[in-house]
């Protein structure tokens, strides 16, 4: 494995990479002083890398991803992944991961520093003192945090840590977070409210959410208009959550008494930005994770996560694919091969124009996290359609094909202790179905149903699936025509549908029949349809 450490992470993290057997580590800043000035040199470094570790300096663009055909993982030592082209990475099947927990305390403490500086004119007093003044009587009076209301937008790791510190200062905490449960809010000792209530009732407001289409300009002119006169606003999360033009207007009018910003809509902050000349704003240059402890933590954490992913272990903190508990993954391992085979089988069994894949789980398996299994089924479905498909890009590739995926879990009884059923719903309205399970102590995968007909079929090799009229001599006919072609039959499973007068035969073959033999079978008067399926 070759790792490119593009930005400066902790030496301990770099050493962790180097300690892994078979790993080659290239430390970029020892080779290239300025990435932006040497794009050709950068491209030359990434051509054969398996993983890239970055902070915020290096941009992992679509061009960079395209130039790294072996790339499997991009690790961001920090929270934000704005500098990584996630759609391009996902399309290529590259895992993008971050370290959301490593800088939690550092960012929470910086937020609280801004809150304190926004309550008392600390920065201004320091500047005037160092200029030779004694501004004791000329500085504006400050405010106390005690018994004030703090509104926290976003109760993830950082928001929760800010809330704890605020409670230590005697503040009442309101929280807005669509994903916050009442029970967790009660555990944290705060009150869950909607955004409108929060902006109206808070004396201090701090945001701790990712920048998304839903959160962009969440705090705008309309929100500020609803706030108390003299409110104080803080953003150490992502620029753009608070609309800067609206904040400038609020600061100038006196509606907003003070603000503290560590992040901005455009970075670095423009030299002529009005914030730079305002006494009631404290500015820091994106220092949220800039502590020695945080940098040590995220450097080690991203190295461990990337190594785990590259070595086939647990994928943690991935942005573009789900993570899973290692214990669940271990229990699911026997099913993953079965799932991939079922996906491949249903794709080959179906006609063109599949609009929807429905995956159903029955029995004890529903007690596990079946997300990796669903990904395996999707990967199997796409294996013959799209090159370089994996668990990362399978869902997006199906979406590009216009195929919806629906997953259901049922505790109702099935004919087996555990059963996985995959349906392909075609644009014609027809539905093709295959189901499988594991047999015996060896947990051997078996296909046990095709279009509702009970069979027992191995999940490897060449299968001939035949639907024919249930008349005498059909099994003998298949044996004869395959024998003439030199194709040996390894096994046969037969299911009869007496109501319709048809039979389903699944013939396991040692090799695929020739095109001429397939044409001969297709032309038989009693054979309605057949498929040759390779698993």
pLDDT of residue 187: 93
What mean pLDDT, rounded, does the chain reach?
A: 92
| pLDDT, average across residues 366-395 | 91
Rounded Cα gap, residues 361 and 38, in angstroms: 52
Task: Tell me the pLDDT tens digit for each residue of 163-218.
Answer: 999 999 999 999 999 989 898 999 999 999 999 999 999 999 999 998 888 999 99
Q: Please say which residue of 395, 423, 458 terminates a domain.
A: 458
| In-domain check, residue 448 | yes
Rounded Cα gap, residues 78 and 97, in angstroms: 9
CB 84 within 8 A of CB 286: no
| In-domain check, residue 136 | yes
Question: Are 405 and 447 part of one and the same domain?
Answer: yes
| Domain at 300, CATH number | 3.40.50.720
| pLDDT, average across residues 291-302 | 92
pLDDT of residue 287: 93
Q: How confident is the model at residue 59 (pLDDT cuts 50, 70, 90)?
A: confident
Task: Tell me the pLDDT tens digit for each residue of 103-139.
Answer: 899 999 999 999 999 999 999 999 999 999 999 999 9
CB 294 within 8 A of CB 157: no
Rounded Cα gap, residues 236 and 247, in angstroms: 15
Q: Which helix (H) or strand (E) holds 456?
A: strand 453-458
| In-domain check, residue 339 | yes
pLDDT(53) > 80 = yes
| In-domain check, residue 317 | no
Backbone dihedral angles phi then psi of residue 14, each to the nearest 5 degrees: -65, -40
Q: How confident is the model at residue 315 (pLDDT cuts 50, 70, 90)?
A: confident
Q: How confident is the model at residue 29 (pLDDT cuts 50, 70, 90)?
A: confident
pLDDT of residue 314: 78
Question: Would you call 200 helix, strand, or coil by DSSP?
Answer: helix
Question: Are 184 and 48 part of one and the same domain?
Answer: no
Share of the chain above pLDDT 90, in %: 77
Work out how many domains the chain is built from and give that number. 4
Give the chain's count of helices (H) and strands (E): 17, 22
pLDDT of residue 441: 82
Q: How confident is the model at residue 325 (pLDDT cuts 50, 70, 90)?
A: low
Q: Which of 286, 496, 524, 526 is catalytic?
A: 286
pLDDT(388) > 90 = no
Q: Please say which residue of 458, 478, 505 terminates a domain.
A: 458
Question: Are 95 and 115 part of one and the same domain?
Answer: no
| pLDDT, average across residues 72-91 | 92
Q: Please state the pTM of the whole predicted model.
A: 0.70
Which of 129-138, 284-293, 310-319 has the lowest average pLDDT?
310-319
| In-domain check, residue 112 | yes
pLDDT of residue 81: 87
pLDDT(312) > 60 = yes
Residues of the domain holding 237: 104-283
- Give residues with Cβ within 8 angstroms of 162, minimum separation 6: 108, 111, 112, 150, 152, 206, 208
Burial of 147 by CB count in 10 Å (0-12 exposed, 13-18 middle, 19+ buried)? exposed
Task: Tell me the pLDDT tens digit for each residue of 474-528.
Answer: 999 999 999 999 999 999 999 987 667 889 999 999 999 999 999 999 999 999 9
| pLDDT, average across residues 28-38 | 62
pLDDT of residue 34: 58
Question: Are 273 and 351 part of one and the same domain?
Answer: no
Which of 14-23, 234-243, 318-327 has the lowest average pLDDT?
318-327
Rg of the Cα atoms in the chain: 31
Which of 40-44, 243-247, 396-400, 480-484 has the lowest average pLDDT?
40-44
| Domain at 406, CATH number | 3.30.1330.90
Q: Is 432 marked active-site?
A: no
- Taking phi over 0 as left and psi of -120 to 50 as alpha, with beta for the rest, 61 belongs to beta
Which of 309-318, 345-354, 424-433 has the lowest average pLDDT?
309-318
pLDDT(404) > 90 = yes
Q: Which of 76, 238, 375, 453 is catalytic?
A: 238
Question: Are 221 and 155 part of one and the same domain?
Answer: yes
Nearest alpha carbon to residue 318 among 376, 265, 371: 371
Question: Are 208 and 81 part of one and the same domain?
Answer: no
Q: Please say which residue of 442, 458, 474 terminates a domain.
A: 458
| In-domain check, residue 289 | no
pLDDT of residue 32: 63
Q: Is 453 marked active-site?
A: no
pLDDT of residue 105: 94
Q: Is 267 marked active-site?
A: yes
| In-domain check, residue 318 | no
- Give residues with Cβ within 8 angstroms of 437, minimum separation 6: 338, 416, 417, 418, 419, 420, 445, 446, 448
| pLDDT, average across residues 129-155 | 96
Question: Are 60 and 79 part of one and the same domain?
Answer: yes
CB 2 within 8 A of CB 24: yes
pLDDT of residue 36: 53
| In-domain check, residue 316 | no
Question: Are 69 and 136 part of one and the same domain?
Answer: no
Share of the chain above pLDDT 70, in %: 96
Question: Are 162 and 262 part of one and the same domain?
Answer: yes
Q: How confident is the model at residue 334 (pLDDT cuts 50, 70, 90)?
A: confident
Question: Are 80 and 138 part of one and the same domain?
Answer: no
| pLDDT, average across residues 76-97 | 92
Task: Tell me the pLDDT tens digit for each residue of 346-356.
Answer: 999 998 789 99
Question: Are 108 and 210 part of one and the same domain?
Answer: yes
Question: Are 161 and 267 part of one and the same domain?
Answer: yes
| Domain at 506, CATH number | 3.30.70.260
């Amino acid at each position: 494995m070759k790792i490119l450490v593009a930005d400066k992470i902790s030496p301990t993290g770099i050493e962790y990479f180097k300690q892994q057997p078979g790993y080659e580590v290239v430390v970029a800043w020892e080779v290239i002083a300025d990435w932006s000035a040497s794009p050709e040199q950068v491209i030359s470094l990434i051509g054969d890398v398996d993983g890239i570790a970055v902070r915020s300096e290096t941009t992992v663009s679509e061009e960079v991803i395209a130039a790294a055909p072996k790339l499997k993982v991009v690790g961001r030592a920090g929270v934000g992944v704005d500098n990584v082209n996630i759609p391009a990475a996902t399309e290529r099947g590259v895992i993008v991961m971050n370290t959301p927990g490593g800088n939690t305390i550092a960012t929470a403490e910086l937020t609280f520093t801004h809150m304190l500086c926004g309550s008392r004119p600390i920065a201004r007093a320091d500047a005037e003192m160092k200029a030779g003044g004694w501004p004791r009587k000329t500085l504006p009076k400050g405010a106390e945090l005690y018994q004030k209301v703090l509104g926290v937008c976003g109760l993830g790791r950082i928001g929760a840590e800010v809330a704890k510190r605020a409670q230590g200062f005697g503040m009442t905490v309101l929280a807005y977070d669509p994903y916050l449960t009442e029970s967790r809010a009660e555990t944290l000792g705060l009150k869950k409210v909607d955004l409108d209530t929060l902006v109206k009732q808070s004396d201090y407001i701090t945001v701790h959410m990712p920048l998304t289409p839903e959160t962009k300009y969440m705090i705008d002119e309309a929100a500020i208009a609803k706030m108390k006169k003299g409110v104080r606003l803080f953003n150490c999360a992502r620029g753009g959550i608070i609309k800067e033009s609206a904040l400038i207007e609020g600061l100038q009018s006196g509606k907003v008494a003070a603000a503290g910003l560590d992040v901005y809509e455009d970075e670095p902050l423009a030299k002529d930005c009005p914030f730079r000349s305002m006494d009631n704003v404290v500015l820091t240059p994106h220092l949220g994770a800039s502590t020695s402890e945080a940098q040590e933590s995220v450097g080690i954490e991203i190295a461990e996560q990337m190594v785990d992913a590259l070595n086939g272990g647990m994928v943690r903190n991935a942005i573009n694919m789900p993570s899973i508990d290692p214990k669940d993954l271990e229990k699911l391992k026997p099913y993953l091969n079965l799932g991939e085979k079922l996906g491949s089988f249903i794709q080959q069994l179906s006609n063109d124009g599949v609009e929807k894949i429905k995956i159903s789980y029955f029995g004890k398996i529903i007690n596990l996290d079946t997300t990796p299994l669903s990904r395996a089924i999707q990967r199997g479905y796409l294996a013959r359609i799209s090159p370089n498909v994996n668990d990362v890009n399978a869902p997006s590739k199906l979406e590009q094909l216009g195929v919806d995926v629906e997953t259901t879990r049922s505790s109702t009884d099935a004919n087996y202790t555990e059963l996985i059923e995959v349906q392909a719903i075609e644009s014609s309205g027809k539905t093709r179905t295959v189901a499988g399970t594991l047999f015996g102590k060896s947990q051997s995968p078996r296909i046990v149903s095709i279009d509702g007909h009970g069979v027992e079929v191995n999940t490897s090799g060449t299968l001939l699936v035949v639907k024919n009229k249930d008349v005498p001599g059909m099994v003998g006919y298949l044996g004869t025509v395959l024998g003439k072609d030199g194709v040996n039959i390894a096994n046969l499973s037969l299911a009869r549908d007496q109501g319709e007068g048809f039979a389903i035969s699944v013939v396991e073959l040692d090799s695929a029949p020739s095109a001429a033999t397939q044409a001969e079978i297709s032309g038989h008067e009693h054979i309605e349809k057949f498929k040759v399926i390779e698993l």
